[in-house]
Chains A and B, each alone.
Chain A
Amino acid sequence: MFCSEKKLLEVERKVKANDREYNEKFQYADNRIHTSKYNILTFLPINLFEQFQRVANAYFLFLLILQLIPEISSLTWFTTIVPLVLVITMTAVKDATDDCFRHKSDNQVNNRQSEVLIDGKLQNEKWMNVKVGDIIKLENNQFVAADLLLLSSSEPHGLCYIETAELDGETNLKVRHALAVTSELGADISRLAKFDGPDTKLMQNSGKTKFKRTSIDRLMNTLVLWIFGFLVCLGIILAIGNSIWEKQVGDQFRSFLFWKEGEKNSVFSGFLTFWSYIIILNTVVPISLYVSVEVIRLGHSYFINWDRKMYYSGKATPAEARTTTLNEELGQIEYVFSDKTGTLTQNIMTFKKCSINGRIYGEVQDDLGQKTDITKKKEPVDFSVNSQAERTFQFFDHNLMEAIKLGDPKVHEFLRLLALCHTVMSEENSAGQLIYQVQSPDEGALVTAARNFGFTFKSRTPETITIEELGTLVTYQLLAFLDFNNIRKRMSVIVRNPKGQIKLYSKGADTILFEKLHPSNEDLLTLTSDHLSEFAGEGLRTLAIAYRDLDDKYFKEWHKMLEDANTATDERDERIAGLYEEIERDLMLLGATAVEDKLQEGVIETVTSLSLANIKIWVLTGDKQETAINIGYACNMLTDDMNDVFIIAGNTAAEVREELRKAKENLFGQNRSFSNGRVVFEKKQQLELASVVEETITGDYALVINGHSLAHALESDVKNDLLELACMCKTVVCCRVTPLQKAQVVELVKKYRNAVTLAIGDGANDVSMIKCAHIGVGISGQEGLQAVLASDYSFAQFRYLQRLLLVHGRWSYFRMCKFLCYFFYKNFAFTLVHFWFGFFCGFSAQTVYDQWFITLFNIVYTSLPVLAMGIFDQDVNDQNSMDYPQLYQPGQLNLLFNKRKFLICMAHGIYTSLALFFIPYGAFYNAAGEDGQHLADYQSFAVTMATSLVIVVSVQIALDTSYWTVVNHVFIWGSIATYFSILFTMHSNGIFAIFPNQFPFVGNARHSLTQKCIWLVILLTTVASVMPVVAFRFLKVDLFPTLSDQLRQRQKAQKKARPLHSRRPQTRRSSSRRSGYAFAHQEGYGELITSGKNMRAKNLPPTSGLEKTLYNSTSWIENLCKKTTDTVSSFSQDKTVKL
């Protein structure tokens, strides 16, 4: 009842069951789950504190404080406080709504009902009120919301089956066993709460969600630092200018420009000027940048949520962007790490085909006798005659049914074997229907198939198996159960039929089983072998089926030896294994089965398309190597066209290293043979970095590595070999990996390749990798929620990944880059004018524009058009994005926004600011207006320049926008209109009459904007700023068009013609021979069955024969526990709780 815990402080817990008073002394956490951050009272202080921890906000607060110092204040306080308050309010509202949802979901979980034993009575209690030490009664199909210790259950021997879908996504059942002491106590399942609320294994494992940032975010932060450095430089230049000016000019100007006491020092004046300019120039990185980026990402997230093409009607699940801050990273993915079960495959096995005695059944032929794919037109076999048939099972080949009716003995034997040789348990539900409980879906598929063809497995006892053979009940005596394990790769049963014949039925991996065949089987073997290749080529999981007639005497001898071996103390396992080998020989081949591990829909297309987009897909699965490779072939990640598939399966670090090295040599060797002339050259390159070598690799390679080897390969000195090799391979499959290893692999690639990674999975065992990767995607709509809860994006089908990356990701990246380019350009153009003006105003930090203009420029006059572009822009439509996966590559190569692009934007901005300042300067120098009154006054100058700026940046956004929706039109034209209306309002008599000190520009708009020469200046400025850009862009599109440019032109040309035909990648199937046998279940169930421990008492036979099969009643439970905890412990990492 005590558990080892990882906390140092708490070595063990002593809990008195059902004694709340005693247990309360320890002040264990209660069972309420808190994921919310705030409550009503703490919201404001905590939220504000959090917000001002963000560097940007703190920086603007600092600026605000600077502005309050009158000697420095070059801008009035409202220019900073208005945007700051706006931003903080928006963020606060968003945080508050997020937290509301969290409160809601917490409440939902906390208020689930449970039955707790209080004061000797079972009472309904909410889960959140369950205390440590409470005894809880659970019934079938109830949720468990705490770590529990199983005391007893209604099942025999205190067993209970639990589904861990919420933990690891696996829907098959796990067996848990109550302690022997307590198992006799109660009839229903009762459990003792062990750890509560935040102490539960799950909450302990969930860890703190790391705050993920996109690479654009990081780049942006770097750039902001650059800009800040740049500003400091400008500030220093201007400050020095100020000192010199004050000394040489200002000093003489004293009669007009009085100096206060204490300021009579040009150096000090320069110092103050520095800060003043920092305030003025900070608009290069306005706070609205951060807000706009968030708004754009939010918009993109909504588009993902709204996308009907990512809505799965089967489970009524729309795609969901759970994190709204990572969208553009979706356009830069280089590595996808995928789970297998439930992600690539549906975890549903279907009996598809079989080969019996050299004949294939299950192939669908059309009238001409040609093989065709299964179409709806073809009539499935009618099973309605068979009352036991599972109605949903479909088989399209009528020949098998015919053969059964004709009484072909081999066919009968084949189906009999399927009905007898398995570990399935049967149960009748209330409606009298037969229901199978399976440990492995493979077996389920086979037994169900046999059932539909008239060989129904009805029930079993430790000693017998009862099946219904075409309507007649037959009971077989189960003499021995030769269990499956990883080395044997087969399982067998030895039964005695009612006629007294003893038969051994065996099924297993073809490679293993074929070695055990009787020599007379040679012809059949060749034939079946061909069939197996064919099945494997279609991506089906295959099993070979064989039997052996046993002599009564021989069996008895053998059985005697087996019993001896079982009781032996030393080398027991080896001896048993030897005996199994001994009897499983001279088998007669019956045929083979082919089970489809159903892929999710569209997996092949998606994988092909993503590969074309240069995205590398790594499969990380807990499955066996064979299964994993099989699936790799099934979904075209592995093909026979590949030059080589390296399999790393070493057991020691040295072995693994050796294998990796060999694989690498092999790779280079082959490569060299392709290009003979460059051997020397390449040898030299070999010494260099992997990334360099990567370019010279021709041909496709794949790497398969199992978890055991991976553990060694992840050690620091082998790591690089692994990484180098893995990155040169087109496909990497890691099998038998633990959740922790999944995360380590992701971490490895993330760290050393500097690549953007995406992890996709559906179960709790994928959580660690989902959290570790840059982007985590959860498959939703399944029973398990953990993966989805940890994920950044979720949708119901793997195939939606294609659309998420190629359409949404690409667009997001494209839009975000365009947005950033324009935004930096705009603000450089806007702000640097102050720098030029500094040279003409005695470096006094006088602003060029009206203070109100500075306040509103970024948040009102120019925010919406660029937002509209950032949200709606498309270069090519979604269909083309999907059809031409190559369009994805600019994102991976980081081409659309990088430091170089930034410098170009900056240069563009600087050029524009020059044009903006010096054209009006030239025109205003000594000029007079058309009414003769002077024109070159500060206010007219400000209005002219502001108007030019607004028009220039609007024209620029118009040029940048490639997809003009209604919204873009409204925003662009609306912004210009808004500018003029606000301008005229702020320069109106009315508003001056109310606040004469705040609006000193009265009458200016009217006076300036009615002058022809002002408009001539604005026009000239606009044309001069925009013309070079147009010329440059035109040249680029004209001479070096990108794929996107070409598609845009074609899209435009074909707009009125028919829609572009979809270039679906052809799905190819390879047809190499692969043995694909893999039981998805664990070893040990054979013992469980023969012991009868998992059967209800009423089914138990008289105890007389029990001893015969129940060799070792304690060992099987230990074995089973050991094996199950293996898988569990891998999930809970180091926190195994011993039962």
Chain B
Amino acid sequence: MAMNYNAKDEVDGGPPGPPGGAAKNRRPDNTAFKQQRLPAWQPILTAGTVLPTFFIIGLIFIPIGIGIFVTSNNIREIEGNVFMYYGLSNFYQNHRRYVKSRDDSQLNGDSSALLNPSKECEPYRRNEDKPIAPCGAIANSMFNDTLELFLVGNASYPTLIPLKKKGIAWWTDKNVKFRNPPGGEPLAERFKGTTKPVNWVNPVYMLDPDSDNNGFINEDFIVWMRTAALPTFRKLYRLIERKSDLHPTLPAGQYYLNITYNYPVHSFDGRKRMILSTISWMGGKNPFLGIAYIAVGSISFLLGVVLLVINHKYRNSSNTADITI
């Protein structure tokens, strides 16, 4: 009860502590992790690492940029396959309410979604009490001009250039994402009970006589349904295949473009375009990327030079030696 004045406590280093077992258990483990001594790589930004990096980036980017730029400028040569695009401007395919106005289940051939499309399709979900197939604003606003290309040439009447309709959509879209409603019967039967989108002339099962390019798997339709990221865009319309190695795909000459005008764009101040292009190793014509590479490469190189100069001129000589406290 009374405090015993134990001179034993006076020993240096404190009392001996409780029996070994308990003491051992409470002592933290001596592991590199717990003691924060994990071996580690400690990179530092030094002149030796940073400056060469800048120079290397410069030396790599500038040639890439030049390469891209040259390739991109060469693209007009009409060799190899020629791609025919239609372009629209001021068309907001990336508007939120537009983008979500579709039903991927319906487009994937789901029978219940076919007859009962998603609410997202409103107000293009039902028409006169019948479900719309394909539903939604995207499908409803599908581009439906027809483009035909004629070579005027030497002959008295122009020859129609054969345009390939298939092979313009992504493989996954055509084979996985878009599917007609299942069944063996004709397409019209399978789409029974649905109605066409309001703006359309024909129902979806009459888009193309070719059964492999009809209904939801019509490639023009698929291409349209892959909405554009920007209000000015172009979409692949047709392919012009090279017939033989001897002749260019589109020989030099006068051409005549026949457009069946169905698609109104004046109302929203839009523009239509038709583009013919070839493709290089890095895609279509794209001067931006080449220029950007050259620019970034040059900046990097310049920065390297500037930093080198600054480093030599202003850096207080070996700052590792004198740590001032």
Q: Which residues of A contact B (CB under 8 A)?
A: 74, 140-141, 160-161, 163, 171-173, 249-250, 252-253, 255-258, 260, 276, 302-303, 305-308, 311-318, 346, 348, 350, 390-394, 424-425, 427, 429, 435-438, 441, 444-445, 448, 598, 601, 811, 840-842, 844-846, 872, 874, 878, 884, 886, 919, 921-942, 962-968, 989, 992-993, 996-997, 1000, 1002-1004, 1006-1007, 1011-1013, 1016-1017, 1020, 1023-1024, 1027, 1030-1031, 1033-1035, 1037-1039, 1041, 1043, 1045-1053
Output the least CB separation between B256 and chain A (Å): 23
Residues on B with beta carbons closer than 8 Å to the beta carbon of A942: 229
B173 touches A1003 (CB 8 A): yes
Assess whether B213 is interfacial by the CB under 8 Å rule.
no
Assess whether B227 is interfacial by the CB under 8 Å rule.
yes
Residues on B with beta carbons closer than 8 Å to the beta carbon of A317: 26
A252 to B108, CA, bound (A): 32
Output the least CB separation between B118 and chain A (Å): 7
Q: Which residues of B contact A (CB under 8 A)?
A: 1-11, 13-18, 22-23, 26-30, 34-36, 38-47, 50, 53-54, 57, 61, 64, 68, 81, 83, 85, 87, 90-99, 103-105, 108, 110, 118, 122-124, 137, 140-141, 168-173, 176-177, 199, 223, 226-236, 239, 264, 267-269, 277, 279-286, 288-289, 292-293, 296, 299-300, 303, 307, 310-311, 314-315, 319-320, 323-325
A846 touches B96 (CB 8 A): yes
**Listed A/B pairs (23) with beta-carbon separation below 8 Å:** A74-B96, A140-B1, A260-B123, A348-B10, A437-B4, A438-B3, A845-B96, A872-B38, A923-B288, A928-B83, A928-B285, A935-B283, A938-B226, A938-B228, A966-B38, A996-B105, A1000-B104, A1031-B303, A1038-B310, A1039-B314, A1039-B315, A1047-B323, A1049-B46
A841 touches B92 (CB 8 A): yes
A444 touches B27 (CB 8 A): no
Residues on B with beta carbons closer than 8 Å to the beta carbon of A429: 4
A924 to B105, CA, bound (A): 29
A313 touches B17 (CB 8 A): yes
Output the least CB separation between A1022 and chain B (Å): 10
Tell me whether A922 and B289 are in contact in the complex, defined as CB-CB below 8 angstroms, given that A305-B28, A992-B177 are known contacts: yes
Residues on B with beta carbons closer than 8 Å to the beta carbon of A390: 7-8
Residues on B with beta carbons closer than 8 Å to the beta carbon of A934: 85, 223, 226, 228, 233-236
A878 touches B36 (CB 8 A): yes
A933 touches B236 (CB 8 A): yes
Residues on B with beta carbons closer than 8 Å to the beta carbon of A74: 96
B284 touches A932 (CB 8 A): yes
A316 touches B22 (CB 8 A): yes
Residues on A with beta carbons closer than 8 Å to the beta carbon of B289: 922-923, 1013, 1016-1017, 1020
Residues on A with beta carbons closer than 8 Å to the beta carbon of B81: 932
A306 touches B34 (CB 8 A): yes
Tell me whether A938 and B28 are in contact in the complex, defined as CB-CB below 8 angstroms, given that A932-B279, A964-B41, A1013-B286 are known contacts: no
Residues on A with beta carbons closer than 8 Å to the beta carbon of B264: 255
Closest to B292 in A: A1020
Residues on B with beta carbons closer than 8 Å to the beta carbon of A1006: 172
A74 to B97, CA, bound (A): 9
A967 touches B38 (CB 8 A): yes
B1 touches A160 (CB 8 A): yes
Interface centre among A141, A258, A846, A933 (most CB of B within 10 A): A933
A940 to B172, CA, bound (A): 13
B268 touches A253 (CB 8 A): yes
A348 to B11, CA, bound (A): 10
B50 touches A1034 (CB 8 A): yes
A1021 to B50, CA, bound (A): 19
B5 touches A438 (CB 8 A): yes
A315 touches B15 (CB 8 A): yes
Given contacts A302-B34, A844-B92, 6 further A-B pairs with CB under 8 A are A249-B92, A306-B28, A318-B26, A393-B7, A926-B232, A964-B40
B303 touches A937 (CB 8 A): no
A1012 touches B282 (CB 8 A): yes
Residues on B with beta carbons closer than 8 Å to the beta carbon of A1013: 282-283, 286, 289
B226 touches A937 (CB 8 A): yes
Residues on B with beta carbons closer than 8 Å to the beta carbon of A968: 40
Residues on B with beta carbons closer than 8 Å to the beta carbon of A141: 1
Residues on B with beta carbons closer than 8 Å to the beta carbon of A919: 292
Tell me whether A1052 and B44 are in contact in the complex, defined as CB-CB below 8 angstroms, given that A844-B96, A1013-B283 are known contacts: yes
B323 touches A1023 (CB 8 A): no
Residues on A with beta carbons closer than 8 Å to the beta carbon of B234: 926, 928, 934, 936
Residues on B with beta carbons closer than 8 Å to the beta carbon of A1049: 44, 46, 319-320
B42 touches A1027 (CB 8 A): no
B177 touches A307 (CB 8 A): no
Residues on A with beta carbons closer than 8 Å to the beta carbon of B311: 1038
A932 touches B83 (CB 8 A): yes
Return the contact of A997 from the options B104, B137, B269 (Cβ within 8 A): B104
Output the least CB separation between A1042 and chain B (Å): 11
Residues on B with beta carbons closer than 8 Å to the beta carbon of A306: 28-29, 34-35
Output the least CB separation between A997 and chain B (Å): 5
A392 touches B94 (CB 8 A): no
A437 touches B323 (CB 8 A): no
A161 touches B3 (CB 8 A): yes
List the 9 shortest-distance A-B pairs measured between CB atoms, nearest first.
Answer: A1003-B172, A928-B284, A314-B14, A941-B229, A306-B34, A844-B96, A316-B23, A846-B96, A256-B141
B27 touches A316 (CB 8 A): yes
Residues on B with beta carbons closer than 8 Å to the beta carbon of A926: 87, 232-234, 284, 286
A1012 to B68, CA, bound (A): 11
B310 touches A1039 (CB 8 A): yes
A933 to B171, CA, bound (A): 11
Residues on B with beta carbons closer than 8 Å to the beta carbon of A922: 288-289, 292
B172 touches A1020 (CB 8 A): no
Tell me whether A308 and B27 are in contact in the complex, defined as CB-CB below 8 angstroms, given that A872-B38, A925-B288 are known contacts: yes
A1035 touches B310 (CB 8 A): yes
Residues on B with beta carbons closer than 8 Å to the beta carbon of A937: 226-229, 233
A1016 touches B26 (CB 8 A): no
Residues on A with beta carbons closer than 8 Å to the beta carbon of B93: 938
Interface centre among A260, A874, A1013, A1017 (most CB of B within 10 A): A1013
Tell me whether A448 and B172 are in contact in the complex, defined as CB-CB below 8 angstroms, given that A257-B92, A937-B229, A1020-B296 are known contacts: no
Output the least CB separation between A1039 and chain B (Å): 6
Tell me whether A392 and B7 are in contact in the complex, defined as CB-CB below 8 angstroms, given that A926-B87, A936-B228 are known contacts: yes
Residues on B with beta carbons closer than 8 Å to the beta carbon of A962: 42-44
A429 to B3, CA, bound (A): 12
Output the least CB separation between A614 and chain B (Å): 13
Return the contact of B286 from the options A172, A927, A940, A1002 (Cβ within 8 A): A927
Return the contact of B95 from the options A846, A930, A1046, A1050 (Cβ within 8 A): A846
Closest to B30 in A: A308
A938 touches B99 (CB 8 A): yes
Return the contact of B229 from the options A258, A391, A938 (Cβ within 8 A): A938
Tell me whether A927 and B28 are in contact in the complex, defined as CB-CB below 8 angstroms, given that A314-B13, A934-B233 are known contacts: no
B176 touches A252 (CB 8 A): no
Return the contact of A929 from the options B99, B199, B284 (Cβ within 8 A): B284
B28 touches A311 (CB 8 A): yes
A931 touches B319 (CB 8 A): no
Closest to A390 in B: B7
Tell me whether A927 and B283 are in contact in the complex, defined as CB-CB below 8 angstroms, given that A316-B23, A934-B233, A964-B42 are known contacts: yes
A311 touches B27 (CB 8 A): yes
Tell me whether A308 and B232 are in contact in the complex, defined as CB-CB below 8 angstroms, given that A937-B227, A1034-B307 are known contacts: no
B97 touches A844 (CB 8 A): yes
A933 touches B228 (CB 8 A): no
Closest to A171 in B: B3
A210 to B140, CA, bound (A): 63
B47 touches A923 (CB 8 A): no
Residues on B with beta carbons closer than 8 Å to the beta carbon of A276: 96
B108 touches A924 (CB 8 A): no
A963 touches B7 (CB 8 A): no
Residues on A with beta carbons closer than 8 Å to the beta carbon of B13: 314, 601
Tell me whether A1033 and B94 are in contact in the complex, defined as CB-CB below 8 angstroms, given that A437-B4, A923-B288, A1016-B293 are known contacts: no
